[in-house]
Amino acid sequence: MKAILPVFAIIILGITAATMYYLDPIPQPLEYHNFADNRELVPHIPNTLDVLSNIPFAIVGLMGIIHCFSSTADPRRRLSFAHSWERVAAFVIYAALVGVAIGSSYYHLAPSNPALFWDRLPMTFCFMAFFSIFVGEREGLASVGRFSFGPLICLGLWSVSHWLATELEGKGDLRPYLLVQYIPVCVVPILLAFTSPVYDTSPWYLISAFLTYVAAKVLEVYDPVVYELTNHMVSGHTLKHLAAGVTGLCLYLHLLRRRAEE
C-alpha cells in the first residue's frame, strides 16, 4: 500500500494540472485589493495592521537562517540536515519568509497587482522549497526531493511571472500560481499519513502547519466578516498574516528538532 502512495500523489498532481489547463484563465479580481481594515493607526503607514502583521514572518525567517548556519558548526544541530541540499532548501524557505515580510508589507502600503507580485514571489519560493524538502525526508523519496528542488523553484518563479505578465496584458491568468500553491496542500497530507519519515521527528509540527495554513486561507476569505465580528478591532487579513506566521514557526520547529540517525 505504502509503495503505491507516491505514485498516487503524482497522479493527483497530474489530474490537478490537467484540470487547471482546461479551465479558462483566471484573472486577479481587482476587489481583492480592497481590504476591510484600511486604518492608518501609525502616521505614514496606511493599512497599518495589515503591514505590521508581517513582522512574524521576518522573525521566524531570521531564526531559521541562524539555524541553517549554526547547524554547520554544532554537531547536534547538524543532524537536522542529512544532506547538504536540504540545508540549501531550508535556507530558501527562511530567506523567502523574510522576503514575504518585506514584499507583503510593501504591497499593503499601496495594494496593486504589480506590488502583489513582490508578495507572491517569495511565497512561491517558500512553498516549493518546503515541498521538495518534505518529499525528500519521506522514506524512499530522498532522490525525488533532491532532484525536484531546482525545477520546483523555477516553476514557482514562472507561475508568478506568468500571472503578472498576463495581468499587464489585460488577460490575467492565475492558474499556474494556484497550482503551485495548492498541490502541496493536497499531496503533503497524503504522504504524511501513509509514508514514514527518515528523520526522528514528531508529525505534529507539520500537522499544525497544515491546520494553521488552512485557518489562514479561511481568514483571508472572510476578511470583512472577521472585521465586523471583532467590532472593527482586527480584520481577517491581519489575522491571516499571524496564522501564516505560526505556520512558518511550525515549519521552523519541525526542521530544528528533527534528527537523522547518527
Place of cell 512561491: 124
Q: Which residues lie across from 42 on neighbouring strands?
A: 45
Distance of alpha carbon 107 from alpha carbon 113, whole angstroms: 9
Give this prediction's pTM: 0.90
pLDDT at residue 186, rounded to an integer = 81
CB count within 10 Å of CB 17 equals: 13
The 10s digit of each residue's pLDDT in 84-120 is 899 999 999 999 999 999 999 999 999 999 999 999 9
Report how far residue 20's alpha carbon sits from residue 183's, in angstroms, rounded to the nearest whole number: 11
- Residue 76: per-residue pLDDT: 54
Nearest to 50 by CA among 206, 175, 215, 236: 236
Secondary structure class of 197 (helix, strand, coil): strand
Answer yes or no: are the C-beta atoms of 252 and 244 closer than 8 Å: no
Positions of the chain with pLDDT under 50: 1
Helix intervals (H) in 110-169: 113-136, 142-168
Q: What are the beta bridge partners of residue 200?
A: 259
User: Residue 256 contacts by C-beta under 8 Å, 6 or more apart in sequence?
Assistant: 67, 77, 80
